[in-house]
Amino acid sequence: MLQSAIAEHKAGRLADAEAAYRRVLQDQPGNPDALNFLGMLRCQAGDPAEAEGLLRRSTQAEPSNPHAWLNLGNVLVILGKQEEARAAFTRATELAPDLAMAWFNLGVCLGRCKQPLEAASALHRALKIEPGYLPAYEYLGHVLYRLGNFAEAAELYQEWLVHDPDNAIARHMLAATSGQGAPSRAANEYVRQVFDGFADSFDERLASLRYRAPQLVAQRLERDAAGDAPLEILDAGCGTGLCGQLLEPLASRLVGVDLSVGMIEKAREREVYDELVAAELCELMRSRPAAFDGVVSADTLVYFGELEEPLRAARCCLRAGGRLIFTVERLDPSRDSASGTPSFRLEPHGRYSHSEGYVRAVLEGAGFGAISIETGVLRWERGAEVTGLIVLARAA
């Protein structure tokens, strides 16, 4: 009966599998495998609280099963019990020292518990056991960035590319951490993969960074448009809609565009946009000439090094006198170019920073006037403020 239940579970027939697991437990209330698999199923079905109880009973009935401890740890993470999850993952690694997944999950959990050194050690262990364990490369790269170990991170991304040569994230981040071969803009596939992966946790992550770019651009537009009639606005790189919910009171029509389908679906849940489009933002802006009174872009142009293309596209979709408001990260003035050449840099975190002089020159070349550039704190990262440029310009 247990094998039949497992077969139903693997086939995705969860109701039949659950009924079979429960029949097993009627006859054998302490069957550790039935408790383990039913716990996994209940978690899949959206009931992690019941899953926790079943998995705890499984580990009590058979304390030497590393997979039950691993599953228990996963459920505890979902429930926000990070310290208890760490203990469960640690027990799994003790019982199965060669189980790469256990070390990976422990590493992720340690990272969430703000123990980056221990997290890096666990993730390295996972990769030593299974060199092609791809999820470990991405998470370890984040940990090494937090530690400031950029040279080690570059070596990691180079190793990742050996196992996955076409991976857009590994390729982009190798350039970012090594300083070699930086592209003029982030590849679409890189942006899409990163933000599809972050969609479910995006707002939570940004809240932990004290992220302020949406508020800064919305406040800048509100100040400049005070007393004006409601505007037709494009939110270029709308993400989950953090900016859109602030722009709604100023808009007669609000359109959002983002490359990530996952982000678009999250933005749709806010119910503030009249239209949402999953597309590359330059293509979308060029396809709608003179369609908007305002284009707002909070921390999206940080994925462009050269700004000529997006700023020309923004000018194309704006009506005469229309406003463009956006943020970029400010290039450290000590790195700014004194020769008048384009001044931007791909930073180790994978985003570009820009100098004020370069931003102003590109805006003028794209057909903008009345340029106003302010500075402000966009977020906190690695314990320090990230200073940005808050830019407003009018279509000439």
User: Residues 117, 149: contact at Cβ < 8 Å?
Assistant: no
User: Residues 312, 283: contact at Cβ < 8 Å?
Assistant: no
DSSP 3-state of 353: strand
DSSP 75-130: HHHHTT-HHHHHHHHHHHHHH-TT-HHHHHHHHHHHHHTT-HHHHHHHHHHHHHH-
Residue 339 pLDDT greater than 60, yes or no: no
- 21 by Cβ neighbours in 10 Å (0-12 / 13-18 / 19+) ranks as buried
Residue 335 pLDDT greater than 90, yes or no: no
The pLDDT of residue 201 is: 74
- What is the residue type of 41? L
Provide the 8-state DSSP code for 332.
P
Band the pLDDT of 231: cuts 50, 70, 90. very high
The pLDDT of residue 192 is: 92
Our measurement of the distance from residue 287's CA atom to the centroid of its chain's CA atoms, rounded to an integer in Å, reads 27
123-149 residue pLDDT tens? 999 999 999 899 999 999 999 999 999
Band the pLDDT of 90: cuts 50, 70, 90. very high
Number of C-beta neighbours around residue 228 at 10 A: 12
Spell out the domains of the chain, with CATH numbers in brackets. 2-183 (1.25.40.10), 201-395 (3.40.50.150)
The per-residue pLDDT of the chain, averaged, comes to 93
Residue 46 pLDDT greater than 90, yes or no: yes
The pLDDT of residue 383 is: 81
Could you tell me the maximum CA-CA distance found in the chain, to the nearest angstrom? 81
The pLDDT of residue 341 is: 55
The secondary structure of 135-156, three-state, reads HHHHHHHHHHHHHCCHHHHHHH
Mean pLDDT in residue range 74-96: 96
Q: Which of 349, 390, 368, 394 is nearest to 145 (CA)?
A: 349
Phi first, then psi, for residue 301 (nearest 5°) are -70, -5
User: Residues 291, 229: contact at Cβ < 8 Å?
Assistant: no
2-26 residue pLDDT tens? 999 999 999 999 999 999 999 999 9
% residues pLDDT > 90 (the chain):
88
Residue 336 pLDDT greater than 70, yes or no: no
Cβ partners under 8 Å of residue 132, min gap 6? 163
47 vs 63: CA distance, rounded Å = 23
The pLDDT of residue 350 is: 95
268 vs 253: CA distance, rounded Å = 15
244-277 residue pLDDT tens? 999 999 999 999 999 999 999 999 999 999 999 9
Phi first, then psi, for residue 126 (nearest 5°) are -60, -40
% residues pLDDT > 70 (the chain):
97
369 vs 153: CA distance, rounded Å = 42
Mean pLDDT in residue range 197-215: 79
Residue 363 pLDDT greater than 90, yes or no: yes
Mean pLDDT in residue range 221-236: 93
The pLDDT of residue 226 is: 85
Mean pLDDT in residue range 95-120: 95
81 vs 298: CA distance, rounded Å = 33
The pLDDT of residue 204 is: 75
The pLDDT of residue 17 is: 95
User: Residues 238, 298: contact at Cβ < 8 Å?
Assistant: no
Mean pLDDT in residue range 163-182: 95
User: Residues 348, 322: contact at Cβ < 8 Å?
Assistant: no
Band the pLDDT of 209: cuts 50, 70, 90. confident
Place of tokens 């429960």: 22
Mean pLDDT in residue range 226-251: 93
The pLDDT of residue 334 is: 67
Mean pLDDT in residue range 365-373: 96
Residue 173 pLDDT greater than 70, yes or no: yes
Residue 180 pLDDT greater than 70, yes or no: yes
